[in-house]
């Protein structure tokens, strides 16, 4: 994969995720019975405390960041739906096995980018907007605003969430109205047109491999 293609796969989400202030840090059993806005607020407060106190995470310690994400964040995202949204109609072109591989690689790409966001967290302030929903709703938007240090202009971050048997899960994040997931749609479509679904899988795998080598200091 060329460096240009690698940058195209990495840049959209990085520009959005670098302002995200929280990870979904809550036991699954608790999440099942928690309203979506209360879940986001409690998680945010808990994780912000961790980020402000953990110097290793602030310094970008890859193992500690990875452990935090793997154990505390992944259970609360629906990566299959996220990948399906990013693929759009091309999702139907993929076999069940290809869909599984795409989801795995896309998840890895998002997680690695999220690692950078956590390492870059400093003193952002989070405000929560009133949630418009009814108890029977299964799809909601939790709206927040993040105030960056030294900036008077807050950044709106909306969490698109769905109710599942395991509790509320995030399937998209919008930063300033821009969807985290659909940011990849054009790039994915271009890859599929040029090289097919297998070509996209290989491109994602190569990007993830390069990222892993970079973080581990390998050449």
Of the chain, the end-to-end C-alpha distance in Å amounts to: 16
Q: Tell me the per-residue pLDDT of 90-139, one tens digit each, with 9 for 90 and over.
A: 999 999 999 999 999 999 988 877 776 666 666 778 888 999 888 789 99
* pLDDT tens, position by position, 7-60: 555 444 444 444 444 434 344 445 566 788 887 887 777 777 777 778 887 777
Mean residue pLDDT of the chain comes to 80
Domains held by the chain: number:
1
Calculate ∠ Cα 6-82-86, nearest 5°. Answer: 50
**In whole angstroms, what is the distance from residue 179 CA to residue 45 CA?**
24
CATH assignment at residue 27: 3.10.450.710
Could you tell me the residue range of the domain that residue 206 belongs to?
3-216
Helix (H) or strand (E) holding 60: none
3-class SS shares of the chain: helix, strand, coil, % to 5: 60, 15, 25
Q: What is the CA radius of gyration of the chain?
A: 17
């Amino acid at each position: 994969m060329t460096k240009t293609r690698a940058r195209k796969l990495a840049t959209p989400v990085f520009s959005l995720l670098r302002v995200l202030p929280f990870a979904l840090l809550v036991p699954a059993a608790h999440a099942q019975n928690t309203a979506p806005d209360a879940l986001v607020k409690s998680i945010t407060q808990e994780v912000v405390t961790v980020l402000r106190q953990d110097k290793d995470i602030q310094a970008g310690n890859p193992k500690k960041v990875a452990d935090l994400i793997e154990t505390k964040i992944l259970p609360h995202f629906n990566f299959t739906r996220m990948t399906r949204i990013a693929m759009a109609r091309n999702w139907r072109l993929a076999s069940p096995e290809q869909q599984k591989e795409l989801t795995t690689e896309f998840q890895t790409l998002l997680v690695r980018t999220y690692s950078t966001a956590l390492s870059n967290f400093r003193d952002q302030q989070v405000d929560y907007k009133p949630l418009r929903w009814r108890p029977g709703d299964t799809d909601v938007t939790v709206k927040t605003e993040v105030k960056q240090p030294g900036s008077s202009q807050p950044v709106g971050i909306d969490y698109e969430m769905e109710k599942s048997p395991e509790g509320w899960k995030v399937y998209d994040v919008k930063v300033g109205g821009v969807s985290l997931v659909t940011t990849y749609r054009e790039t994915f479509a271009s890859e599929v047109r040029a090289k097919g679904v297998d070509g996209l899988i290989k491109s994602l795998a190569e990007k993830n491999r390069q990222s892993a080598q970079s973080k581990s200091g390998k050449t």
